[in-house]
Structure formats: structure tokens, C-alpha cells
Structure 1
Amino acid sequence: MKRIISLWLPTFATDRLNQTKIKTKYKTTVNEKENREFPLVTTQKLNGIKRILAVSNAAKLKGIKTGYTLADAKALFPELLIEKADYINDLKTLETLVMAFQRYSPWTAIDLNETNLLGSLVGSGSIWIDITGCAHLYDGEHSLVKDLYNYCLKIGYQARIGLADTPGAAWAVARFNNVQSTIIPPQSQKEALAHYPIVALRLDPITTEKLHNLGLNQIGDIYNMPRAPLTSRFGLVLLQRLDQILGLENEPISPCRPKHQHIARISFPEPIGNKQDIKFALDKLLMELCKVLEKNNLGARLLKLSIFRVDNTHINIKAGTSQPSRDPEHLAFLFQEKLDTVDAGFGIEVLILKAIEISKSSINQFSIYRRTNQKSNTNIAKLIDRLSGRLGVQNVIRFYPVESHIPEQANKAVSAINNTKVSNSWTNTSKFLNNCHLKRPLELLSQPLPIDVIASIPDGPPIMFIWRRQKHKVINSEGPERIAPEWWRPRKFLSNSMPFVPKERDYYKLEDHEGNRYWVYCNGNYSKQKITKWYLHGFFS
């Protein structure tokens, strides 16, 4: 006989936000002495009106319910915290929870039949857990259900649990019993569900309304009714749901299969603690993992080495690469310095090496004429990996071009090892650069410096300028090159790193009597009422 758990998380959407985004976003708006939870709701625009979709327990205490308009909710509680409904992240979190609940059974799945028949179900989440043959591992079903409930509270989710022989029965008792958990004994669901409302059969609203109009308000009301008239009036769905909930018809659950993971593991018959033994074991794991990656034409971008000690503690060490790699010697070098600081304690019994991030790694075909350049690029990538591991990922950066005419906004600094984030926009940027035939200085100042200029005519190029109390006589000049503000960029999307440039700039390339070349500009058009300001912005080689 099967035993199925229906785990219902009634405030799943708000619970997820409470423990991730909201705690950091609203640090000073919550009075934790009155309520540990945040008075939070999620909203969605329906027919032009923002309505409440999910309500936290703290918000329910303020009188706010699902389906209220946002204006009505703010009138009841003006300090209400509001977030937009995020179905994508909700689904991703549910998938993560499904994998986490495999500690109770390998047969877990998301409840895809979760419906919005009731207002309280909006913003909720539901998970199936088939515990057939697993209850004895927790000393019985009651102990397993209690451990499951405590685990949900520990990770920050309110839960209601139903356990029965069929998924339909477990679904019903989890939602229509106002208790933390309900367990129906084996082969007892018919008597236990007789007094449950008809909506517990998971029917559509139209069918449910028709049954109510006929006075059939409870599941037990249709037990002894002739099946032929029910089928002719309501179709096959009503009796199918009834048979599924009573166990007369099978309701299969497709388990969530974990993604294929690239893992290498080694267990020691006796605990080890010598540094050389650890490094030798790591080399063995890398050889095993790299063979699998090479077979699948993959390369590792991020590796995690988990070291499990005898005293039931573990250490995680991560190493990343700027390009997909399956070179065991290079990957072992990235772990070398970090392994020297590992405290083995009373001994290490298990080592697990996992490739967290992987990507396609094509085989390099070296050209006869460009072999040196291609080998040099590979060495640069390895150098970046080693510097990032020693100095920190955020301390080793590289500059990428940005599609902008404003000089100080034409590039951005990103981590040299995490260059995949900008690879998608590289194609469009490279086309922009190919169409731009204007020369830019090799050294660009982060902040333009003011200079004093003497020009033969007010709106002409300088014949001499003073910078740092030094006079520079101009012998050659080229320009002007006018750069106008990027009016098409909305100001609300601009930041401190990309400010709005309010005036036109006229740039000149100048060469002084000592052969030094400078890039200067003046702000705006010439006017007798205003003094033209000049700035030094860069140096040519």
C-alpha cells in the first residue's frame, strides 16, 4: 500500500521573500518585538487594477486578504510592504525544495495540479512526497511527519501536511483540516473524507457550483449515488476524482529527477591528515573528473572540494577558471595554496570534488603560423586563474567595451574570471567598435582635469594651455570632434557610474613642443555671456 504526503506551503511566496529580499530591503521598517514576520503582500495587475495575490501571516493580522485591491490594503495598513509577484523565482525555489526533501524519500515532485480554487491557495506551493517504505527510517510515520514539519519551520516556511494512501486524500486533509498535520490510517480514507467539502475533490469552479446547487455539499453525499446520472450530468471528471481520492483509480506522480552532476568521490579506510596525502587524493579526483568532462566535451568553470572530517565537520574550498578547463595540473595548482591552510583536525575520511559550473569546451586546433599566439592566450587565461585564486576574484579585473560615445562610459570593469556575463553583448559592441573609426587616447583620466587655455579665436583650437603650472605650447592640433549627450538613454536607468552628460563637448588632439600628445575638450558652444571651460581628458602614446 502506497503512502503519500501532500506538503502544502500556504504562505510560500511571502515566506520566500521574507527570508531573502525583504530582510535586507526593509531593515528599519519592521517592529520585531510585535511580530517576527514582515507584514508583506505580493501584487499583480489584473484588468488594470493592482490586486493582492499572496498575504503573509503578519499582513493577515492587519485584516488584509487575498483579492483586495492595493488601495484598500494600504488604507487598512499604510506601512504595508509590497512586492511584485515573481512566479519564476517561486518555481525555482520550489524545485530547490523538492531536491531538499529527498532526505525523506527519493520520490518527490512539485504538485502541478495546484489550483486557485480557493483564495487562500494563491501564492502557495505544494509538493508530493512518496514515503512508501521510508517511514521506518524515522521510527514511524508520526516521527517522519513531525521531522518534516520542524524542517520546514527551520528553513522559514509555514507548512501543513497531509498523509494518506492516495495523493487526492493527502491533498484534501492538508488543506481542509486546520491543524499542522493530519494522518489518515491505511485504507481509511473513505470514512475520513466523508464530511469534507466537495471542493476537496479538486474540481473546477463550474462543476463545484452545480453540485452545490443540487445540495451535494460534502464528499460523502455522492458515495451512494448512481454513477450513470452523475456521468451524464458532470462528465467523467467527477467520478474520476472520486475514484482517485478513494484509491479505486491510480493517480501516478512523476518524480523530479536530479540534473546530472559531475562528481568525483574518494573514501579512506583510515583517516588521513598529511598534506601530501590530501594533495595526492586531490590529484586522483581531478584525473577522474577531467576524464569524464573530456568524454562529454565539457570544461569546468567552478570547482568545489568538500573535505569531511572525522568529527562530523566539513570544509568547502572553491576554485574558478576564466575559461572552461579540464587540465588536471592547472586545476590542482588553483587548489594548492588553499590546501596548505586546511586543518585536518582528527583526520579526514571523505573527499568530494564537484564541478558546480561547466560549459562546452571545444578542442583547440593550433595553426602552424599562429601557434605562438594561441598558446599565449591559453597561458594568459591560466595566469588570470592563478591571480584570482591568490588575490581574490574581485581584485583581478578586465575592461570590456560598452556601446557608448561618451568616453568615460565606453568601457566597464568586470571580474576577469567571470567573463561570461558580458559575452552575450560582445557581438553588438564589436560591431559598434568596427564602425567607429575615431582614435581614442591610450590613457583616459577617470575625472577630466581643468586647464587654462589661450586660443587665437574664441571657438578655435588652443595655441597654448597651462596644466599643473606648466605652459605647453601647441605646435599641432586636430579637431574639433563634437560628442553630444546621449539623449536617448532615460535618466532613471543611469547611475553614479554612468551619469548624464548635460552639455556638448568639442574634443581636440594637441601636440606640444616636446612631442607630447593630449586630448582636451571644451564644454558647450561659445557664448559671450559665458566663460568657456577647458578640460584635459587623456594622453596619447
Structure 2
Amino acid sequence: MARILSVWCPNWPITTWRRRNPNSGGWGEGAFALLASEGGTRRLVAIDEAAQALNLRPGQKAADAMALAPNLVTADHDPEADRAALEALSDWCVRFSPAVAIDGVDGLFLDITGTDHLWGGEAAMLADLLARLSRWGVPAQAAVADTPGAAWALARFGQPGQIAPPDGQRALLADLPVAALRLDEAATAQLPRLGLFHIGQILGLPRAQLAKRFGMHLTLRLDQALGAAGEALVFRRPASPWFDRLAFAEPISAPDDLARVVGDITALICRRLEVEGQGARRLEVVFHRLDGKAMPARAGLARPGRDAARLTRLLIPKLDRIDPGFGIEVVTIFAGDVEPLTAVQARLDAEAGAGLDETLAPLVDRLINRLGEDRVWRADPHESHVPERSVIRRAPLASPSGKSWDPERPRPVRLFKRPEPITALAKLPDDPPVQFHWRGRPHRVRRAEGPERIGQEWWRGDFDDTGPGKIRDYYRVEDEVGGRFWIFRQGLFGTGEDPKWWIHGLFG
């Protein structure tokens, strides 16, 4: 059963503005509001506690607010900065769960299924989260329930720090106002006018009448809150149970301590992978600093693995980019692309040695982590007559596709990403060239083979100048110094446009 933690940050725009402007004078002494233009009119977007005491409200015209509170201090609302701050908060919450989703403009959802034991239970986790936010000047309310809808309702309308027992949210939701169902403004306003003030009153009504009167949205929200209907959350990273955490009594910052911690937490997750018969292709170790910033170190494998020593060796060189600041208090680890990995018995014939993949895997892993995944790959055949589409990139040690290139139609060792134009001279219109100029240098052709005619892939509908939109006649040519080139003539004579020559690759 899933367990969802909902975090609500009331008046988030005011909180983020104060954190961005800690030294701004004046706003802390009197009423403060953020303004935005709406249809040419300046209106209040968010107000602080002092402004609320003066009966100001969001949406009010700024001119009317200034008339009621002449000393009102104002600033421009920056919704993009609010969103960036919420995203930063969601990244910080990775220390509590790898699955964090943004909820509107002022909240978060955390899927804490299977992670609360790291704190000693849900209550301890909730208390730790709220205490940390309070220390950083971020007022927040939070609750835990089986569903996002129930956790959202309890965080905003329930008791502070409320935790619904498994399958126990129905009784807690019954006493909450109908606004806790996340309905639209029309339904939220209409239900109380009909005497329906609490969710418990709605639970006792026939569903058919509710749907007929208020639409399917009300019954859907009710089912989502009670767990009768699913609700998909968009997490900032894929939800995964392969997550672990180490917390320290005292912050650490020394390079040797960071390296030792990487080994400890990597061994922790690898033991879990081994018990479950799994292996991971990606690992991410995140260092959580005292100031709330999260600094990740990532490593990837060409093949699924769970060798803690080998993974540690890949991660330690990346610690040079980790700035511990005033200290690291928590380290988390996340394993991605987890796949079944069965134990392999060592070969009995020692003379045969290890397989090719086993020998290459450590080297490929070092190259990938040093150069990047997009720079280490293997070319595999792809079914297409067009040369630039007949090759696809695959992982270096991926299983062979079983396809191969036609030996009767050899292709160059180096194929250019895009053909390069050349000037060529041929004795007859359909003959191979006798000489050509490429990159400012002349080449006299000594041998030539071809042509190999390649037509357009008409079903794709692409007709750019250097693409396959026209007929190509390819030639394999060798110049006087032994250079071998793959060139082609694009277009046909007698069609009203002179054919053009291009070079597409090198054979050696």
C-alpha cells in the first residue's frame, strides 16, 4: 500500500520573496504585499500576516489597498522565481524520498512508501521535515495518508502533522470541509449553499445524484481521496524503491570522509540489489549540505552490476566537484535502470579466460563516466537504403541486433554526419569523376567503382538539399596518393537543374 506525504507551504510567494531579499528594510515592520498587473490593473497577489489583519485580501486592487493601508509596502510578484524555489525545495526533499512531485504552486507530494523506516517511522520523518523547514524560515504544514487526495486535504484542513492510519482516511476526511476535495470554485461555493458543509455529508448521498448535480469531477475527487480511483503523480525523477540514506551525528566535509561515505552507502544499496537478484545501470549519490543544497555525483554502467568496490571507484573521481560548504549532514543514494541480474559461475577452463564483454566492461564504464554516455557508443545496422539512416547508436555492450550490412555494398569506415559539397569533373555526364576539389585541395582520381543508385524514401516526405529527396549515384574512388572516398552525384541530367557533387565518407 502506498503512503503519500503532502507538504503545503502557505503563502509561498511571500516566503520566497523574503528568502530572496533577507536584507530589505521596511517590509518586516508593517504590512507587505506582492503586486502583479492583470488587464492593466495592479492587484494584490499575496499578502503577509500584517496585511491580513488590515482586512486586505489577494485579488484586491492595489489602489483600494493603499487607500485602506497607506503604509503598505509592496514589491513585484515573480512567479518564475516562486516556481524555481519550489523546484529547489522538491530537490531538497530527495533526502526523504526519491519520488517527489510538485503540487500546484505551493505544495509537494512525497511517495514515502518503504522509506519512513530510515527515520524510525512516519511520525519521526514528518517531524524532521517540518522542523528543518521551520529553521529555514519556511512555514509549512504536512500530513500522511494512503492517497494524494487524502494527504492534501489533511495537510490543509486537518490537525497539524496529522497521519492517517492505513485504510483509515475515510473517518478523518468526514469532518473536513468540502473545499478539502480540491473541487473547482463553482462546486466549492455551491455545496455549502445546499447545506453540504462537510465531506461526511457528501459520503451519505447517492453517487448518481451527486454526478448529475455537480458533474463527474466531484465523484472522481471523492474516489481519489478514498483510494477508489487512482491518481497519477508526475515525479521529478522516476519513482523507485532503490533508495537508501545515511545521516551523521556531526557534519562531514573532509575529502577522505566523503570517499569513505561513498563506499559505505554504495555497499548498502549493493547488498539490497544482491539479495533481490538485481543489478543497476545508474547510481546517483547526493550530498545534502547544512544549507539545504543537494550536490549529486553520478555513475553509469554499460551492463547492470552490483559490485560495490567497482562502483565506488567510478564515483570517487567525481567528488572533486562536490563542495561540502559548512558540512554534509545526509547522504542519499538512488539506483536507476534496475534489472534482474543472475549470478554467473566462473569458467572452469582457466585457459579460456574471461569473455570479451567481461574484459571490456570495466574499460567501457571508465570511458562512459569520464566522457559521458552520449560519447561512448557502438554503431549498429538499421534497415534503410539512405546511408545516414542506416546506422543507429547503441550501448557499447548491448546485445547484438542480429542485423548486418550487405557485403555487396560496402560502406565507409567514417561516414560524415552531413555530406560536404565538392566540385568534380567527369568525362561524360554519367561517368565517375576524373578529379574533384574538396576543402580547398585537388584530388585526381586513379580508380573508381560504381555507380550505386540510391533513391528517396518517398514515404518520409523530406526533400532538403542534401537529404535523400533526390536520386543519388554513389562512387567509391581512390586518388593518386591512395586516399579512398565515397562521393555521390545528386540529381539527373536533363531535368532542368545541373547535378551536384558531394562527399559522404572516407574508407580509410
Task: Please tell me the TM-score bracket, short chain as reference.
Answer: 0.5 to 0.7
- The separation in 1 between residues aligned to 2:503 and 2:179, in whole angstroms, is 75
Residues 239-388 of structure 1 mapped to structure 2, 5 A cutoff: 261-310=241-290, 314-364=294-344, 369=352, 371=354, 373-388=356-371
Q: Tell me what 2:421 maps to.
A: 449
5 Å-filtered alignment, 1:54-203, equals 98-99=109-110, 104-110=142-148, 126-127=149-150, 141=158, 165=171, 167=173, 170=176, 172=178, 174=180, 193=196, 203=206
Instruction: Report the AA paired with residue 366 of structure 2.
Output: L
1:171 positional shift: 7.4
Is the 8 Å Cα contact of residues 172 and 201 (structure 1) preserved in structure 2?
Answer: no
Deviations 1:132-167 (A, max 9, x none): xxx9xx9x946569xxxxxxxxxxxxxxxxx99464
SS in 2 for 1:470: strand
Q: Which residue of structure 2 lines up, in the alignment, with residue 22 of structure 1? A: none
Task: Indicate if the aligned counterparts of 1:263 and 1:355 stay in contact, CA closer than 8 A.
Answer: yes
2:174 and 2:201 in contact (8 A); partners too: no
Instruction: Say which SS state the counterpart of residue 459 (structure 1) adopts.
Output: coil
Q: Which segment is superposed worse, 482-491 or 508-517?
A: 508-517
Mapped contact 1:98–1:127 kept (Cα < 8 A): no
Rounded Cα–Cα distance in structure 2 between residues aligned with 1:129 and 1:179: 20
Q: Report the alpha carbon displacement of residue 484 of structure 1 after superposing the two structures with TM.
A: 0.3
Q: Secondary structure at the match of 1:344?
A: coil
CA distance in 1, matches of 2:496, 2:187: 78
Superposed displacement of residue 180, structure 1: 12
- Provide the residue aligned with 1:123 in structure 2: none
Corresponding residue to 2:38 among 34, 47, 54: 34
Match of 2:84 in 1: none
Find the counterpart in structure 2 of residue 186 from structure 1.
Answer: none
Tell me how far apart the structure 2 counterparts of residues 288 and 255 of structure 1 sit (CA, whole Å): 33
Distance in 1 (CA, whole Å) between partners of 2:306 and 2:197 is 62
**Aligned to 1:285, what secondary structure does the other structure show?**
helix
Deviation string 1:391-446 (CA, Å, 9 cap, x unpaired) is x55555655554332223333568x69x99xx9xx84xx54x45674210112233
Aligned to 1:510: 477
For 1:520, the aligned partner's letter is I
CA apart distance, 1:505? 0.7
Q: Distance in 2 between matches of 1:314 and 1:513?
A: 60
Following the alignment from structure 2 to structure 1, what is the Cα–Cα distance between the partners of residues 282 and 6? 36
Q: CA, structure 1 residues 33+309, in 2 after alignment: closer, same or farther (shift >3 Å)?
A: same
- C-alpha displacement of 1:464: 4.5
CA separation in 1, counterparts of 2:267 and 2:201? 60
Equivalent of residue 479 in structure 1, options 450, 455, 466: 450
What is the distance in 2 between the residues matched to 1:304 and 1:195? Answer: 45
Q: For each residue in 1:18-66, what CA deviation from the matched residue of structure 2 results, as whole angstroms up to 9, or x when unmatched?
A: xxxxxxxxxxxxxx73279xxxxxxxxxxxxxxxxxxxxx9xxxxxxxx
Q: CA deviation at 1:488?
A: 0.9
| Unpaired segments ≥5 residues, structure 1 | 8-31, 37-57, 59-91, 111-125, 146-162, 183-188, 218-240, 246-250
TM-score relative to the length of structure 2: 0.55
Distance (Å, rounded) in 2 between the aligned partners of 1:298 and 1:6: 31
Distance 1:359 1:466, change over 3 A: same
Q: Can you give the 5+ residue segments of structure 2 that lack an aligned partner in the other structure?
A: 8-35, 41-58, 60-100, 113-121, 127-141, 163-168
C-alpha distance in 2 between matches for 1:312 and 1:459? 70
Provide TM-score, normalisation by structure 1. Answer: 0.52
**Displacement after TM superposition at 1:504 (Å):** 0.2
Partner residue in 2 for 1:230: none
Give the whole-Å Cα distance in 2 for the aligned partners of 1:298 and 1:535.
Answer: 50
- The answer as to whether partners of 1:264 and 1:353 remain within 8 angstroms in 2 is yes
Query: CA 1:255–1:479 in 2, change beyond 3 Å: closer, same or farther?
Result: closer
Q: 2:390 aligns with which of 410, 419, 428?
A: 410
C-alpha displacement of 1:479: 1.7
Whether the 8 Å CA contact 1:6–1:171 is kept in 2: the answer is no
Q: Deviations over 1:447-483 (max 9, x none)?
A: 333132222x3323344445545341434x3222110
Are 2:508 and 1:537 equivalent residues in the alignment? no
d(CA) in 1 for partners of 2:262, 2:103: 34
Q: CA RMSD in A?
A: 5.3
Q: Deviations over 1:67-101 (max 9, x none)?
A: xxxxxxxxxxxxxxxxxxxxxxxxx9789965369
Could you say which residue in structure 1 is the equivalent of 2:489? Answer: 522
Higher deviation after alignment, 325-334 or 163-172: 163-172
User: How many residues were matched structurally?
Assistant: 362
